[in-house]
């Protein structure tokens, strides 16, 4: 085992490794091709989310409370993928599988923090749809820019505090058995399982984290859509009902893509032990595919965004034509 460092507090010594070793796939000879695939996913994620953020920034009619939340979702997707995939590429494509103890904790914090912000952003968008359909006349009075910025700010404060505490608990673990983490990034559960002292607090915190941050959000979203369904049943005209439902389709697709794989993966691991390779593939896909698909879905399924893209394209062509005209005149 690597060299150890000691941290003494209240007459208790916690033994820490200088580095952890990320194991990755077990006995798969062509595993590098999978990491290359993740790198391609990352490129699409960066391009897609940067594109949707630029569209929202450039088009004034998208400067609304709803699209502040969409912009925040795209930013969270971009930052979350950037916290995860480049480190995976460096670790396994360039064989830097040893990671410093402090760097491991930092990686854990940023991956969890931005993944949690993605989840919270979906709750905020569900709230937006709930108010828009159930209280249409009061929508612009309730869902305002200051209110949306306040909600997003509170989300950041809660997430930073919660995951600072979660990551800080790792410092209460003694690692005197092994420093090998059987996964592809610094995940909380595989690390606390390496403890050779009491880790009951860590197990409890892991359960709270799963229940509060992974199970509660989809329950809240389900309740909001149940209320939306009741409101839609009260709409007498079928055309108006379909129009209102269309405004929810893109968000429902994002919710399904984000939560169903994560919850299925976690519940499957509770029922039967998963092979480490299967767990790595399932977990990595559930963390990397939604950020890539979110901007594509919002671009293709949201009429306002598509219309804004067409307007920007026409505007750019007009500017290019004018610039070409002045260039010709200048040459004459």
Q: Are residues 104 and 180 in the same domain?
A: yes
Q: What is the mean pLDDT of residues 272-286?
A: 86
Tokens of residue 296, six digits: 């594509």
Give the gyration radius of the chain's Cα atoms.
23
Domain count, the chain: 2
Residue 143 included in any domain: yes
Residue 221 included in any domain: yes
Looking at residue 138, what DSSP letter applies?
G
Q: Are residues 229 and 315 in the same domain?
A: no
Q: Are residues 189 and 65 in the same domain?
A: yes
Question: Counting every residue, how long is the chain?
Answer: 332
Judged against a pLDDT cut of 60, whether residue 5 lies above it is answered with: no
Question: β-strands 12-17, 4-9: how paired?
Answer: antiparallel
Q: Are residues 262 and 312 in the same domain?
A: no
Q: Are residues 238 and 159 in the same domain?
A: yes
Count of Cβ atoms closer than 10 Å to residue 242 Cβ: 11
Residue 2 included in any domain: no
pLDDT at 26: 83
Query: What residues are paired with 16 via a beta bridge?
Result: 5
Q: Are residues 204 and 186 in the same domain?
A: yes
Beta carbons within 8 Å of 286's beta carbon, 6+ residues apart:
261, 262, 265
How does pLDDT run across 182-212, given as a tens digit for each residue?
899 999 999 999 988 888 999 999 999 988 8
Q: Are residues 275 and 307 in the same domain?
A: no
Q: Are residues 154 and 224 in the same domain?
A: yes
How does pLDDT run across 208-224, given as a tens digit for each residue?
998 888 899 999 999 99
Q: Are residues 143 and 240 in the same domain?
A: yes
Query: What residues are paired with 9 via a beta bridge?
Result: 12
Q: Are residues 147 and 70 in the same domain?
A: yes
DSSP string for 18-71: SEEEE--SSS-TTHHHHHHHHHHHHHHHHHHHHHHHHHHHH-GGG-SHHHHHHH
Residue 1 included in any domain: no
Residue 3 included in any domain: no
- Pick the closest to residue 139 from 64, 74, 72 (CA basis): 64
Element of type H or E holding 4 = strand 4-9
Q: Are residues 25 and 162 in the same domain?
A: yes
Q: What domain range is 242 assigned to?
A: 9-296
Q: Distance between CA atoms of 184 and 286, rounded to whole angstroms?
A: 13
DSSP string for 167-234: HHGGGG----S--EESSSS--HHHHHTT-SS--HHHHHHHHHHHIIIIIHHHHHHHHHHHHHHHHHHT
Tokens of residue 288, six digits: 């990397």
How does pLDDT run across 126-171, given as a tens digit for each residue?
999 999 999 989 999 999 999 999 999 999 999 999 999 999 999 9
Q: Are residues 92 and 164 in the same domain?
A: yes
Confidence (pTM): 0.90
How does pLDDT run across 283-323, given as a tens digit for each residue?
999 999 999 999 988 877 788 888 888 888 887 777 666 66
Tokens of residue 103, six digits: 């760097």
Tokens of residue 45, six digits: 């994620």
CATH code, 61: 1.20.1070.10
């Amino acid at each position: 085992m690597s060299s150890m460092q000691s941290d003494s507090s209240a007459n208790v010594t916690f033994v820490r490794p200088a580095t952890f070793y990320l194991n990755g796939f077990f006995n798969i000879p062509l595993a590098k091709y999978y990491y290359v695939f993740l790198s391609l996913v990352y490129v699409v994620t960066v391009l897609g989310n940067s594109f949707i953020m630029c569209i929202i920034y450039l088009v004034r009619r998208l400067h609304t409370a709803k699209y502040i939340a969409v912009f925040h979702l795209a930013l969270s997707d971009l930052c979350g993928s950037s916290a995860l995939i480049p480190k995976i590429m460096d670790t396994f494509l360039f064989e830097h599988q040893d990671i410093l103890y402090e760097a491991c904790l930092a990686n854990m914090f940023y991956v969890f923090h931005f993944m949690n912000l993605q989840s919270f952003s979906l709750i905020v968008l569900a709230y937006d749809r709930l108010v828009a359909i159930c209280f249409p006349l009061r929508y612009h009075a309730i869902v305002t820019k200051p209110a949306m910025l306040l909600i997003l700010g509170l989300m950041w404060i809660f997430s930073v505090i919660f995951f600072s505490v979660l990551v800080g608990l790792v410092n209460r673990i003694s690692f005197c058995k092994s420093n090998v983490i059987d996964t592809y990034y610094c995940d909380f559960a595989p690390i606390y399982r390496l403890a050779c002292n009491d880790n009951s607090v860590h197990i409890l915190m892991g359960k709270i984290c799963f229940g509060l941050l992974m199970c509660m959000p989809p329950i809240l979203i389900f309740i909001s859509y149940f209320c939306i369904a009741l409101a839609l049943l009260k709409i007498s005209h079928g055309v108006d009902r379909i129009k209102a439902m269309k405004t929810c389709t893109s968000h429902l697709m994002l919710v399904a893509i984000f939560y169903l794989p994560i919850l299925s993966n976690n519940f499957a691991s509770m029922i039967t032990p998963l092979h480490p390779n299967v767990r790595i593939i399932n977990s990595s896909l559930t963390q990397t595919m939604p950020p890539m698909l979110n901007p594509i879905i919002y671009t293709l399924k949201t009429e306002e965004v598509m219309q804004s893209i067409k307007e920007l394209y026409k505007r750019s062509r007009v500017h290019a034509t004018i610039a070409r005209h002045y260039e010709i005149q200048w040459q004459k």
